[in-house]
Structure 1
Amino acid sequence: MVGQNALPRTRHAHLLRQLELHGSVSAADIAEQLGVSQVTVRRDIVELEQAGRLARVHGGAIALGAPPVAQPARANIGVVVPSSVSHFPQIVRGMDAASRGGRTRIVLATSQYREELEQRQVERLVDVGVAGIILAPTMRSRTEIELAEWVRTIPVPVVFLERRLESTALAAFDSARTDHARGAQLAVEHLAALGHAAVGLALFDRTPTAPLIREGHASAIARLGLAEAPYAALPKGDEGDDEPLDDALVAFLDACGRTSTAAAIVHTDVHAARLVELATDRGIRVPDDLAIVAYDDDTAGLAMVPLTSVTAPGRDLGQEVLRIMTERIAAPDRSATAARHITMLPRLTVRESCGTIA
């Protein structure tokens, strides 16, 4: 609680934030949240109305432009993902599209792959009153047991997003994810069907997706009886620091040449696009000399040679995870409802880089 001595601007900021989230606020609720009297809150509402920030109604306030009768508050659902670029924007857009059909609103926060920031973002979302948390957890240093211990302390329902979580401790929670292992199998099967006897793998291996792609690749290679092929662990390749990435990609090209490997899967599509450029510089033609399938399809179609890619079901996954969350929130006895683990299949988007016609 803030208390009676809180500065007016602190109270005003809290009141306006609740109004943004819910569309209407009760003076009694705000007073309880801040630990101040209702008289103080009503005075704040008058001041904010005079400043043109809200409209007073009996017992509280509504946002400007809202219907004259305050509507029931919507369910706000917090979403914490590692990044607002690359893989997750399509998923979030799917959630947002699905939210418009019901009285829900997505409140997005990012963790930047930092576990301490992730926990703070969840705390912030709980503090502003979200009814549930959709979480793509960072798993760089903590174990699944440690993750389960923390998530059990969150006072609202939690649904995991885009993580294959193995421990029994986490099995009690709902989850929705892309079957990335199956996506890698789709890519290997496609290249094998084009006549390739070996399929290399170049993998940005510092993501939770990477082990699943590696697993699917190995499974398909064994099942189809393909030859052993080069593997490369790739660095991120930040803008302005491309040299380590270029060195790794050139080494991968050289390994493919030495082993007569003429097909490869490359994660991510950004790494695959750079591989095409480096191959061109070395006189290696894509797809004539090297067929490439990118894993991820954020910018694959914009590469120098448009990239065949494994395309995650981003919007569909976002809509599904939001449905799971809203049903979990609405369940009268949440503990009595069985946990759901939804896995969605990616598709192969065929373009020019694999040597076949879409």
Structure 2
Amino acid sequence: MLPHARQEFLLRQLELHGSLRATEVAQMMGVSPVTVRRDIAELADQGRVERVHGGALSNGSRAGRPDVARTLIGVVVPSRTFYYPDVLHGMESVAATMRARIVLGVAGYSPEAERSRVERLLSLGVEGLVLTPSHVQAPEETAPWLASIPVPVVLLERHLDATRKVREIDSIRSDHSYGAMLAVDHLAALGHTRVALALDSWTPTAPWIRTGYLEAVDKLGLDPVPVTEMPSGFNDLQAITDAADAVLNMCLASQTRAVLAHSDHHAIQIAEIAQLRGLRVPEDIAVISYDDVLVAHAAVPLTAVTPPRVELGREALRMLMGRVDGTEEPSSPRHVQLLPRLTIRESCGGSVRLPPPRRTAVARPRRR
């Protein structure tokens, strides 16, 4: 183990327990007590620990902090931006009361990086993991690895049922099908008889959104509109612009006056391109986004389906700590879904004023 990794391990142990003995930690790391004492001396010279006979104390130990974290929890997510900061904020909001210390690993949708981050966190002594597995690998390939992790795991925004073993892992996610249904139902209540779906199909959320959208269109008796596939690369502005143009061309040709767009990047571009083409939002076309991270700041603030990101983080940590502490009741595995909400802004407007074919502007959709 490299000196930096050893010293990081020492600091984590001190944060968890307030003190450590050099001989015990040396055994845990598989190095000599002399090596540990040398690391402690270096950290003490830097003012990061207090050196004492036989070991070290946390700098906060003399103050007698009653809330020293006692449980190290690992969190591995695909990204530290966009969706996940709110999730992490939710975890942090309850971590102190549970005396938990969160250590983050970011895997970037790479199965190899994901496994590497988990191994590193386990080497640091984490007692549980909140994990968002990459979706680029088949569930049948991911399942054996997940089942082999030796500490309690809660899957975040994922649910895998490839094997019985992995199905028994706790999971918590947003009910994205319900979120899509919320959006379509809202647009139908405003008088829209056709609602387009612009979907980033690469994301793991996409299948749930598609399912909810199609179910809502069927149940509300809306006229079917082909689902438009959107490019996933957020940095390829030209590709997103071209796709937004295609969505608007289809809407104008079919007299569709409402779009549900996943995700925020696509929704913002659709609204902006519509305005550049002389269309008014929401008078000529209504836009609802799915994600609600950026769209409140669009030129026309967009109505959005808002997943419960903060609540997801909070409840994921609570579920995991129950397993780690052995206090979770009932003891059977749990698959929890939290409902998104619809955040109404300016991009939907009132009842539809442009009459679609075969129906009046104020007609309610058929219900079956």
In the TM superposition, what is the alpha-carbon distance from 1:25 to its structure 2 partner? 2.8
Q: Equivalents in 2 of 1:12, 1:348: separation in Å?
A: 47
Which residue type is aligned with residue 181 of structure 1? S
Conservation of the 8 A alpha-carbon contact between 1:24 and 1:73: no
> In the alignment, which of 338, 344, 348 is matched to residue 338 of structure 2?
344
- For residue 152 of structure 1, give the secondary structure of its aligned residue in structure 2: helix
When residues 10 and 97 of structure 1 are mapped into structure 2, their CA distance, relative to the original with a 3 A threshold, is closer
3-state secondary structure, aligned to 1:205: coil
Change in CA separation of 1:356 and 1:122 when aligned onto 2, cut-off 3 Å? farther
How far did 1:294 drift?
A: 0.5
- 1:62 Cα deviation from its structure 2 partner: 2.2
In structure 2, relative to structure 1, the CA distance for the partners of 1:326 and 1:243 (3 Å cut) is: same
Q: Deviations over 1:212-255 (max 9, x none)?
A: 1000000000111100114211112433x311111111011000
Q: Residue 67 of structure 1: SS of its match in structure 2?
A: helix
Q: Are residues 1:29 and 2:36 paired?
A: no
Cα distance in 1 for residues equivalent to 2:238 and 2:263: 17
Identify the residue that residue 119 of structure 1 maps to in structure 2: 115
Which position in structure 2 is the counterpart of 1:325?
320
Structure 1 unaligned segments of length 5 or more: list them. none
Q: Is the 1:23–1:63 contact (alpha carbons within 8 Å) kept by the matching residues of 2?
A: yes
2:69–2:96: 8 Å Cα contact kept in structure 1?
no
CA distance in 1, matches of 2:4, 2:115: 27
Give 2:200's aligned residue: 204
1:84 equivalent among 74, 80, 85: 80
Letter in 1 for 2:223: A
**In 1, distance between residues paired with 2:170 and 2:182?**
26
Contact 2:69 2:101 in 1 (8 A): no
1:278 equivalent in alignment to 2:273: yes
Distance 1:10 1:247, change over 3 A: closer
Contact 1:231–1:252 (Cα < 8 Å) also in 2: no
Letter in 2 for 1:346: P
In structure 2, do the counterparts of structure 1 residues 31 and 258 end up closer, same or farther at CA, with 3 Å as the change threshold? same
**How far does residue 139 in structure 1 lie from its aligned partner after superposition?**
1.6
Q: Could you list the per-position Cα deviations for residues 60-86 of structure 1 after superposition, in whole angstroms to 9, with x for gaps in the alignment?
A: 212323336697751011111111112
TM-superposition CA deviations, 1:262-317 (whole Å, max 9, x none): 01100111211111110011111110111111101101110111000000111111
- Aligned twin of 2:137: 141
Q: Give the counterpart of 1:150 among 145, 153, 165.
A: 145
Per the alignment, in what secondary structure is the counterpart of residue 149 of structure 2?
coil
Question: What is the Cα deviation at residue 91 of structure 1?
Answer: 1.0
Q: In structure 2, how many angstroms separate the alpha carbons of the residues matched to 1:345 and 1:307?
A: 20
Residue 333 of structure 1 deviates from its aligned partner by 9.8
Q: Which moved more, 1:316-325 or 1:31-40?
A: 31-40
Moved more, 124-133 or 44-53: 44-53
1:147 CA drift (Å): 1.8
Which amino acid is 1:28 matched to? T
User: Contact 2:322 / 2:328 at 8 angstroms: preserved in 1?
Assistant: no
The percentage of aligned residue pairs carrying the same residue is: 47
Q: TM-score, length-normalised on structure 2?
A: 0.88
Aligned letter for 1:271?
Answer: H
Deviations 1:44-73 (A, max 9, x none): 423432342310245421232333669775
Superposed CA offset, 1:110-164 (max 9, x none): 110111101111111101011101111112122x232221012111111101013
What letter is aligned with 1:218?
L
Q: Give the drift of 1:259.
A: 0.4
Code of the residue aligned with 2:188 in structure 1: it is A
Matched position secondary structure for 2:61: coil
- Contact 1:200–1:263 under 8 Å retained in 2: yes
Aligned residues: 349
Distance in 2 of aligned mates of 1:56 and 1:310: 53
Give me the whole-angstrom Cα distance separating, in 2, the residues matched to 1:9 and 1:190.
Answer: 54
| Shift in Å, 1:15 | 2.8
- Distance in 2 between residues matched to 1:146 and 1:244, nearest whole Å: 32
Q: TM-score, with normalisation over the residues of structure 1?
A: 0.91
Distance 1:294 1:355 in 2: 14
Which amino acid in 1 is paired with 2:247? Answer: F
Cα distance, 1:12 vs structure 2: 4.0
Is contact 2:305–2:343 with CA below 8 Å preserved after alignment? yes
Aligned-partner residue type, residue 217 of structure 2: I
Say if 1:153 and 1:238 are closer, same or farther in 2 by CA, change over 3 A: same
CA distance in 2, matches of 1:42, 1:163: 43
